[in-house]
Amino acid sequence: MRNTTRSFLTRFAQNELASRVASALGLALLALGATVLGGIVFALFWAAAAVFFFAEFLKMIGYGPLAIGAAVGAIGLAGATIGFERSAPLVGMAALIVAAVMIAARAETWDRGLIGAAGLGYAACVVLPVVVLRSLAVHGLGVTLWLYAIVWSTDIGAFFIGRRVGGPKLWLRVSPKKTWAGFIGGMFAGVGVAMLVNAAGSVVPLSPGAVFALSVAASLSVHAGDLFESALKRGYSIKDTSQLIPGHGGFMDRLDGFALASLVVTVTLEALV
């Protein structure tokens, strides 16, 4: 019985699709639970994701000393997150800027120091926009769940339709596996699900036309963020930023599109609402 169980778990771990689906479901449930709870639990959940994201970024660029850079980044991201969650964005930005300066100053080489400091801002996009979004007085919970729906539907649509249809590559030099079919399929899936979710609950405080335009922009941002991260990895000759998430790679691989989409949605709603 023990050998049978072990054999099943081994086969499951070696099945890329099964591992991908299982890990995605697990992370989605954690994200949904933290989002429903809101407050500091939600903020710290996304801060932890941003810290892993940043550590992978530093490792990718060959930053040294890695442990010190990651620790300083973690403190800066935590301080920024708490500042934004407590409606003190200036305090949060100050914490982030101080951490970025220290990361640049402590690097073994000046170029990696500057890139590492820029990477901290990149990682901050994982947590700060969504914390602002969730803190909206009336629509925070609904809009955050709506954002998840766009990002997840775009990713799922692009993955399955791209695999099923195949065809011409989207940008071969940057990402050999991505196709135009996946890009278009992901767009249709993301925008379609976003419009259905909003029609069911009127979660976005905008007109239907504006919601459609924002859905398109957010779905495009998911693709753009994914391509940007693919270009970074290709520049540093790596396939995955880590193996922490089975079937997906690392936190950068999983949250690249989310970081840009959440920034686009949050900035737009802050400007219009």
Q: CB of 96 within 8 A of CB of 123?
A: no
Angle (CA) 231-255-69 rounded to 5° is 80
φ, ψ (nearest 5 deg) of residue 170? -70, -50
Distance between CA atoms of 51 and 57, rounded to whole angstroms?
A: 10
Q: CB of 56 within 8 A of CB of 70?
A: no
Predicted pLDDT of residue 8:
46
The torsion region of residue 232 among left (phi > 0), alpha (psi -120 to 50) and beta comes to: alpha
Q: What DSSP assignment string belongs to 44-59?
A: HHHHHHHHHHHHHHHH
The residue assigned the tokens 């609904």 is 142
Residue type, 78: A
Q: What DSSP assignment string belongs to 10-27?
A: HHHHH-HHHHHHHHHHHH
Predicted pLDDT of residue 234:
92
Distance between CA atoms of 183 and 169, rounded to whole angstroms?
A: 10
The size of the chain, in residues, is 273
Residues paired with 171 in a beta bridge: 175
Predicted pLDDT of residue 2:
54
Low-confidence ranges of the chain (pLDDT < 50): 1, 8-9, 12-13
Structure tokens at 83: 């500042």
Distance between CA atoms of 114 and 73, rounded to whole angstroms?
A: 13
Would strands 169-171 and 175-179 be described as parallel, antiparallel, or unpaired?
antiparallel
How many beta carbons lie within 10 A of that of residue 28, not counting itself? 12
Q: What DSSP assignment string belongs to 135-151?
A: T-TTTHHHHHHHHHHHH
How many beta carbons lie within 10 A of that of residue 176, not counting itself? 12
Predicted pLDDT of residue 201:
84
Predicted pLDDT of residue 145:
96
Q: What pTM did the predictor assign?
A: 0.91
